[in-house]
Structure 1
Amino acid sequence: MAALGALAPLSARAQAPAWPTRAIQMIVAFPPGGQADVTARPLASALERVLGQAVPVVNRAGAGGIVGSASVARAAPDGYTSLLALSSLAMLPESERIQGRVPAYTVEQLAPVARITADPTVLVVPANSPWRSIEEFVADAKRRPGAITYGSAGNYSTLHVAMAMLTGAAGIDLLHVPFQGGGPALTALLSGTLDALASGPGPALSHVKEGRLRALASWGRERIPGFEAVPTFIELGYHDVEFYIWTGFFVPVATPAPIQARLREALRGLCEKDEGLRRALDAAGSPIAYQDGEAFERFFREDSARLVRAVQRIGKVD
């Protein structure tokens, strides 16, 4: 009997289906060019090498991230559909409730596998704008309430909440212009149809270096690599203006534990040892800030609670 008992785990493993045997979709709930997309593409390429299957990045944009996130929450929990999400993941269901709608998904439908990056946002304006400091920006906004526009990835998105924190702390009124993602908002800023944007550092970095955009301040507790000359809002006396765009890897909550463990193992190995991935994310201005297991679950729970409170402070948006 003891021998049979010892063989049982081996038999179970032998009968378990092999995974992966086909492509694993990585859903990005935003258009190309935004922070999630900037992280997803080199990560997917690296995962392909480790898992031995294609990992296509699928941009499924809509409703500020709701459409793509909901599609993964409802997907078959077989390990072949994943989500590379932003910190807005928890804010969007709460925004739906505030608007009087039934949320298209809840965070309980998704299992947090690993955090990949965690970047503070940075306030950028066109290089030909009149503002060379946050002091000038705030002073102008106070002189012209509602005249200065800023973009976001949609109502209640990370970029919207970050700017709402600033407008509340500075006592200014700006005109919010929502887009379908951070990429389109950044394009609008570059074209001159927007005045300002709270951007992830990765998408903005090359444009700042090329002299097309000017960075005024960042939402981090410390200055951002690549933006060393840019002060933080905390340095400037806005002590409650602190915000991060993080990217995290999620799967449907019922995805079998062995598959989640395999994904976690692959992601951890890549983030710790893959120099190509590290260089790609560093070059994009979005360095690796890896977490998994209980640490990421705790971070996700605490950060989500803080962001949900911020959305509740914004209230209903007409």
Structure 2
Amino acid sequence: MIRRRDVVAGLAGTLAGTLAAGPLVLGSRPARAAAWPARPISVVVPYPPGGSTDITARIVGERLSIALGQPLVMDNRPGAGGNLGLEIVARAAADGHTLGVATTAHAINMTLFRKLNYDTLKSFAPVALLTENPLVLVVPAQSAPRSVADLIAAAKARPGALNYASSGIGQSTHLAAELFASMAGIKLTHIPYRGSAPAITDVIAGRCDLMFDTTQSVLAHVEGGRVRALGITAAERLPLARDIPTIAEAALPGYVAIAWNGLVAPKGTPPEIVARLNAETVRAMQEPAVAAKFAGLGATSRPLSPEAFGAFMAAEIAKWGAVVKQSGTTLD
């Protein structure tokens, strides 16, 4: 069903030695005699090494370092739901030598947090969309529900009795479940964890009834029979897992919840630098080898201009803001 083991194993092997050595410096070609880039470019990744956002940034960064003639230094700054890293980018000099990776969480955080030290739309110059990744609705392998409709029926029969795990309050794994519950007219109990790994571990053990998790994190468990996949949150089925229906086709027409990430620069970065970064990023994402790596992880990419990516982020802020308000969740 899922042909991803070789892809993930190859990525894990490539990253293992590098991550153990600390921050990754990608590329070693000498700088070209141009005004920009004049030195290595720092890419702030607001999550720990080894996660899906970090893997994405490193794959793309390797190609950009070649195209731009300067190393891209991955600077992992996890903390505060992804806010710490983006605050660093917002305060950085707008000279094209500092970039950041924004994610779905940074659209969610605009409503979730009572106070932020940045504004996802006003503090940054949008550069390019990197990847979009659907989530997978999974239940323990021994669970009674065998379809999305079964799960909804079970939740309606016992309001609030079923619990769901997430990788943390305000993460896409949390809000995807809230959107699902809202559209299905059911009540679920949220159990947040510090990361996807401990959350899915408790789903596998049967201590949690369900979870929405990224394809990178969960498809190996589906393949291994440790959890059962009921549905995909994308608008269409994944080529990687054709036998898993979309939640929209299975039970909830119109339901879509995508985890995404993209490059941003500090507000005021010269338009010509943003345009060059966008062109090189789009070119990198369309390289067959790069596209194949992401396809093996269940991720896709779309070539968006900086303006289109900015509009995309604004739409995501509005969409998830409504879900956050309905859930009643807020953080300081």
Same topology, TM > 0.5: yes
Rounded to whole Å, the distance in 2 between the matches of 1:188 and 1:45 is: 35
Say yes or no: does 1:19 pair with 2:33: no
CA–CA separation in structure 2 for the residues paired with 1:89 and 1:314? 17
Q: In the TM superposition, what is the alpha-carbon distance from 1:184 to its structure 2 partner?
A: 5.0
2:284 alignment partner in structure 1: 270
Query: In the superposition, relative to structure 1, how do residues 139 and 193 fare at CA in structure 2: closer, same or farther (>3 Å)?
Result: same
TM-score, normalization by structure 1:
0.83
Secondary structure of residue in 1 paired with 2:259? strand
Work out whether residues 122 and 215 of structure 1, in 8 Å CA contact, stay in contact via their aligned partners in 2. Answer: yes
Query: Alignment identity in percent?
Result: 35
Partner of 1:205: 219
Could you tell me how far 1:166 is from its partner in structure 2?
A: 0.9
Within the candidate set 293, 297, 302, 1:289 is matched to 302
Local SS of the residue matching 1:289: coil
1:138 Cα offset (Å): 2.4
Distance 2:215 2:92 in 1: 31
Q: Note if contact 1:64-1:179 (Cα within 8 Å) is conserved in structure 2.
A: no
Distance 1:90 1:249 in 2: 14
2:54 aligns with one of 37, 53, 73: 37
1:1-318 correspondence runs (5 A): 17-22=35-40, 24-97=41-114, 102-107=115-120, 108-190=122-204, 193-272=207-286, 274-317=287-330
Going from structure 1 to structure 2, the CA distance change for 1:91 and 1:199 (only over 3 Å counts) comes to: same
Shift of the 81–221 alpha-carbon distance from structure 1 to 2, 3 Å rule, reads: same
Separation in 2 of the partners of 1:286 and 1:265? 20
> What is the CA distance between 1:59 and its match in structure 2?
3.0
TM-score normalised to structure 2 length: 0.80
**1:191, CA displacement in angstroms?**
5.8
Alpha-carbon distance in structure 2 between the residues aligned to 1:153 and 1:309? 20
- 1:194 and 1:219 map into 2 onto residues whose CA distance is 20
Residue 39 of structure 2 contacts residue 97 of structure 2 at CA under 8 Å; is this kept in 1? Answer: no
* 1:9 alignment partner in structure 2: none
Stretches of structure 1 lacking an aligned partner (at least 5 in a row): 1-14
State the alpha-carbon separation in 2 of the partners of residues 278 and 235 from structure 1: 27
Q: Could you say what the CA RMSD is over the residues aligned between the two structures, in angstroms? A: 2.5
State the shift of 1:113 in Å: 0.4
Q: Which amino acid aligns with 2:294?
A: L
- Relative distance call for 1:303 and 1:116 in structure 2 (3 A) is same
Q: In the alignment, is the contact (CA less than 8 A) between 2:240 and 2:295 conserved in 1?
A: no
Secondary structure in structure 2 of the residue aligned to 1:116: strand
